[in-house]
Structure 1
């Protein structure tokens, strides 16, 4: 009869010493660190200005909500706890390509200049 109480006590003890869940992923979880992108935001930078691999330029987009429009995006960082879907277009050799990328929390990339047209939140895993 005491065994269920002992197990419950152990679980309560583990939960009491466990660190709290964060609203944003740990810094540096992706390919590049978040630089000047603040926790809880999704950031897009218009060009490569990353001394020592860390973005310091002013982002062309900082959002905490879904967004649509047209901005130049060279790379991005998802510093939220949600999966983001990024819609983009890219013109090369007279041909325009369009697509979407899923950015899990702590992820960031592009590395070529694109036009970002939409950021939305996904309910499923990337």
Structure 2
């Protein structure tokens, strides 16, 4: 009975990587480097392939617009100047969990493979 709650807690914990509200977001000023994600784009990678903590493989998604689909995302990077809402799915021992995370400029990482189903821009630019 407690196992689903423990897993949900772990997932929630690893997804919490947003900088403090007082941090002024700047293009590409995140904790993690953008690797091969180009300025002005939002990128998602399907695997951890970062020998030096920098993404090197081809992203499974590169977008500058709203996007809907279903791809595997291990980590992401928001190399834009606006906040993005990322909708995701995660299968934990047969239980499907869903959620939406806010990715501020320079933000990235899921830490576990997830199904990314939507990227939309937060028009109010507030997370």
Larger radius of gyration: 1
**TM-score (structure 2 length as normaliser):** 0.77
Q: Deviations over 1:59-96 (max 9, x none)?
A: 00000000000000000000011100000000011100
- RMSD over aligned CA atoms reads 1.0
Is 1:68 paired with 2:68? yes
Tell me the matched-pair count: 101
Q: Deviations over 1:35-76 (max 9, x none)?
A: 000000000000000011000011000000000000000000
**TM-score (structure 1 length as normaliser):** 0.77
CA distance in structure 2 between the partners assigned to 1:109 and 1:34 by the alignment:
11
Unmatched tracts of structure 2, length 5 or more = 1-25
> Who is 2:97 aligned against?
97
Instruction: Tell me which protein shows more helix as a share of its residues.
Output: 1
Alignment of 1:51-66 (within 5 A): 51-66=51-66
Unmatched tracts of structure 1, length 5 or more = 1-23
